[in-house]
Structure 1
């Protein structure tokens, strides 16, 4: 069964025990990490678990198959070049065989990117009619019972947003569609910044989140504590 989330524009010491003793609290596995690495783990937990809107459980979700994009609407040549650039950056960061490609046949696609007005987008997806009134960019994502992302769609308003803002919205919504579905006020230069910005590049910590979500050792369905363990091991072993 697929579910859809509508969203608006995160040397090793092992403690082994046969049972948990209340007198010995859990050891934070991140103590061996640098301060910046701990920031990466914390930000990953904030951005990659669940979604900003809806009641989806706070676990990791990601694509396990290729995201195949079909483009609709009236994108400018400049926007198409920007999309190519973003796809190239994401593909470079992923190391678990995930990739994004573009297809010319909508029947071959599993993700739809629309460039146009909010009203035009709402005509295709009526459930979003209220949201497009005040949002220049939106993404919607689908996932199965195994927490694997397997479909979705997004739009960029090319009439209310200027060219710089269009590029920002394209990068933000597409990146969040990877399974990085939350916003944060923590880093001003992050693509996940909750306040309105027009940044058109990833912050270094954004690249870390994409890289780690699409690392071979990162799996779907991990909660906050489980993902902390996995991230710590990945970062320590690098």
Structure 2
């Protein structure tokens, strides 16, 4: 066994559009964007400084490591199916907590070797996670590299991944951050509450309206808005509330029109 490297499941995350947010905050140091950035970085900093027994209270064997710098955070845990499944929940909570204040994140996941040191982590698995974030994820999602997909397929059960991971239209596997819409919505105290969902909806709408000079950023917000709407649409009473954006509500009208059209012409050549 190496004295320097060890096998870990790794996540690299950063804030989408951080540079533009900093420039906007600099123009008004006491304004909304400066406060928003400070709040987001505090969330990331707190997670970066947290002990494993706090982040994973039910998993004493997580050996959780984290290192935050600027708008980025690197996290790693032991490559155990149970611990990695709990890590997905931690990442989903982080995604929702930041969306609530209008901050979107992107990340990459990998499985492999990293250094044993906590202070300055390095290793091929960190390089892979960074490259997945910067080259594969593209949209505001936490994408899985090939090594992460292989680990999950080999080690995890259906219960540990079915409601936590999704394969997107481009073939990339990523975290499903709105897991509580399906799996936790019937609990008495779901993490994605109606109040939190309303705030996220408001931030998505505001970002969609506010991005007028960056087609690249606009396409990412549009992607996230569509993802949000697809999961927040009530189905069989889950969730018990509807906090989709206007795009999602409008989609209902389109679907109703298509259904009515198909019904009216059913059976005709």
- TM-score for the superposition, normalised by structure 1: 0.29
- TM-score for the superposition, normalised by structure 2: 0.27
- Larger RCO: 1 or 2 (CA < 8 Å, sep 6+): 1
Give the greater-gyration-radius structure (CA): 2
